[in-house]
Amino acid sequence: MDAAHLFPFSQLVFSQRCPSIIDALNVTAILEFQLLGFSEDPDQQPILFGLLLFMYLVTVLGNLLIILVVSSDSHLHTPMYFFLSNLSLTDIFFISTTVPRMIVNIITHSRAISYVGGLTQMFFFIIFGCMNGMLLTVMAYDHYFVAICHPLHYLVIMNPHLCGFLVFMSLLFSIFVSQIHILIALEFTSFTEVAISNFFCDPAQVLSLSCSYSFFGLIIKYFIGAISGFFPVSGILFSYYKIVSSILRILSLGGKYKAFSICGSHLSVVCLLYGTGIGVYLGSAESSSPKKDVVSSVMYSVVTPMLNPFIYSLRNEDIKSTLRWLHSRTD
């Protein structure tokens, strides 16, 4: 008889310490995770279902519209809009790693996700979440050169080969960070509990559940957080430091306004994503309020991808003019 029959799952859901027998057998005792992020009130489930479905559809359709606009107008075939279309595609994949699963759980009245399914969700969530941050860093580097600091050398420096290389390296870096998380999770032989106080397999909370999550584990967690969070933010801040320094040297008010308008949308998205994401990741182990973690997680994993198309379209005259042109063709 295998270990799964000897140690039923029901005895492991909220155990306060690691089962020494299972540790001795060196087996992974967990069969599934329980996602406890949203309310269990049956009256609130239809509201949650409608809200999540609405936000998901708005996100997918809005980001697809950005991709359509950029691809249909040759005037938008520039590095800045190339990165923007990749960011929109990443946002679609990012929200698709969590919300559809949550919608299915609401329909089936289940909060469970299998062990393999949870790690798979965590793998792709980290990839697209990290990819999102890396693209924002690349876009900050792009803004550093576009019509602000080195406008005469912009097209030479930001050539198609470099743009493709930057996106490709962002993807490789995101896969690397995700693989580190998964390799650490696979080293765990057992868990103190399998209930996650979120609506998806949040990487920080999954790592915190391990019995072997010691001081060394905390060091690894913050090191990974520094790689995937601190360094991109540092690159963005450095780019904006150079941008602001260049803008202050512009004499005309019109030139200053144009330069700030180029960066305003990007800076809004950066604040939304990193302001909530880093706080959740670094503070999850010490947090005493799981509900606050859920709200913050919704902000950076659902609300931010949904707002990105509106932020970039409403503040961008090029995209608005292309939208008007597409609308006139359909009339």
pLDDT digits (tens, 9 = 90+) for 295-309: 777 877 888 888 888
Q: Are 97 and 59 in contact (CB under 8 A)?
A: no
Q: How far apart are CA 245 and CA 189, in angstroms?
A: 52
CA distances, 202 to each of 54, 223, 266, 285 (Å): 22, 17, 26, 12
Confidence (pLDDT) at 23: 42
Phi, psi of 37 (to 5 degrees): -65, -45
Q: How far apart are CA 325 and CA 95, in angstroms?
A: 29
Q: Strand, helix or coil at 5?
A: helix
Q: For residue 149, what is the DSSP state?
A: S
Confidence (pLDDT) at 146: 65
Q: Are 175 and 131 in contact (CB under 8 A)?
A: no
Confidence (pLDDT) at 258: 65
Confidence (pLDDT) at 127: 92
Confidence (pLDDT) at 124: 93
Q: Are 185 and 122 in contact (CB under 8 A)?
A: yes
**Residue of 113, 112, 109, 111 whose CA lies nearest to 45:** 109
Confidence (pLDDT) at 288: 53
**Residue of 55, 85, 184 whose CA lies nearest to 126:** 184
CA 112-219-19 angle, to 5 degrees, is: 45
Confidence (pLDDT) at 5: 44
Residues of the chain with pLDDT under 70: 1-31, 39, 145-148, 187-193, 209-222, 224-225, 228, 250-252, 254-256, 258-262, 276-293, 314-315, 330-331
Q: How far apart are CA 54 and CA 62, in angstroms?
A: 12
- Contacts of range 183-187, beta carbons closer than 8 Å, 24 or more positions apart: 184/217, 184/220, 185/119, 185/122, 185/210, 186/119, 187/212
What is the domain class of 3-330 according to CATH? mainly alpha
Could you give the angle at which helices 45-72 and 317-330 cross, rounded to 10 degrees? 90
Confidence (pLDDT) at 279: 61
Q: Are 263 and 169 in contact (CB under 8 A)?
A: no
Helix (H) or strand (E) holding 314: helix 304-314
Confidence (pLDDT) at 7: 36
Confidence (pLDDT) at 91: 92
**Residue of 266, 243, 267 whose CA lies nearest to 255:** 243
Helix (H) or strand (E) holding 133: helix 115-145
Q: Where are the domains of the chain?
A: 3-330
